[in-house]
Amino acid sequence: MNSRVTLSGASPWLAGMREAIPLLGGYIPVAISFGLIAVQASFSVWEAILISVLIYAGASQFLFVAMVASGAPLWLVVLMTLLINARHMVYGPNLAQWLPASRGWPWLMHGLTDQIFALAHSRLPQLAPSERLGWYTGAALLAWFSWIGGTALGAVAGRELTQRWPLLGEVMPFALPALFLVLLAPRFNSRPWAIALGSTSVIALLLTLNGWPNAAIPLAAASGALLFQALSSTRAGGKRHG
């Protein structure tokens, strides 16, 4: 059971921003990479920035740019973007139990990314109910603005940066997945979480290797969520009958 802590008088907004700062080490390099790729795919600087403002979905943005550049029909682009983001149907309900009702949630959920979910899922239960909304808003806004800023930097100056430091172009795409694994690492001390996360990774890898790269993320995420729910239910049932 999580112990309840307070923010010691600090503004929940500022506390959320401060605790989300480590995310910037992954967000900014990948956003720079996206901005560079978008411009190379014949999108303008402002179009690249607008994609990050409105779609704000990491892998979906790279897929969106690649499919549009290759001449794919709009309906297929939209379908594949929605399919990759289907995992948010699992994220939202998991966080809803810790957050107060608000008319602003349709807007605030725009800031729900993989990393914000991982951070909020472990942090929100520790906060007082009155602090949770402010904390989440601060963390989500900092991540969103850093992604937009990184995209702008990549679109404007990315080509020059990678020409000067070629290694940047090779390592930037791996920064965000590495950061996500660091955020998930504490969950591996729980057997259900360890099994579910491990299975999710294996399923995603197998689907990718067998020619299903676009469907790998949503299908693996759904499978992992169902497995975790099944393991948790079995464990809870065993405790009740023990």
Tens-place pLDDT, residues 150-173: 999 989 887 677 677 666 666 555
CB 139 within 8 A of CB 24: no
| Digit-coded pLDDT (tens) for 68-95 | 887 878 888 888 778 777 777 778 778 8
Predicted pLDDT of residue 1: 42
What Å distances lie between residue 99 and 116, 125, 200, CA to CA?
14, 9, 26
Predicted pLDDT of residue 25: 81
Predicted pLDDT of residue 142: 94
Give the whole-number percent of the chain exceeding pLDDT 90.
14
Instruction: Render the burial of 116-137: b for 16+ CB within 10 Å, e for the rest.
Output: bbbbbbebbeebeeebbbbbbb
Residue 177: Cβ within 10 Å count: 14
Residue 85 corresponds to which tokens in the numbers above?
């983001």
Report residues of the chain scoring pLDDT below 50: 1-3
CB 134 within 8 A of CB 12: yes
End-to-end CA distance of the chain: 19
CB 175 within 8 A of CB 30: yes
Query: Distance between CA atoms of 53 and 226, rounded to whole angstroms?
Result: 31
Q: Which of 110, 108, 109, 134 is nearest to 123 (CA)?
A: 134
Residue 112, helix vs strand vs coil: coil
Predicted pLDDT of residue 179: 52
Residue 66 corresponds to which tokens in the numbers above?
């690649």
Query: Distance between CA atoms of 138 and 180, rounded to whole angstroms?
Result: 19
Predicted pLDDT of residue 52: 93
Predicted pLDDT of residue 2: 46
Q: Which residues, 6+ apart, have CB-to-CB distance to 83 below 8 Å?
A: 214, 215, 218
Maximum CA extent, the chain:
64
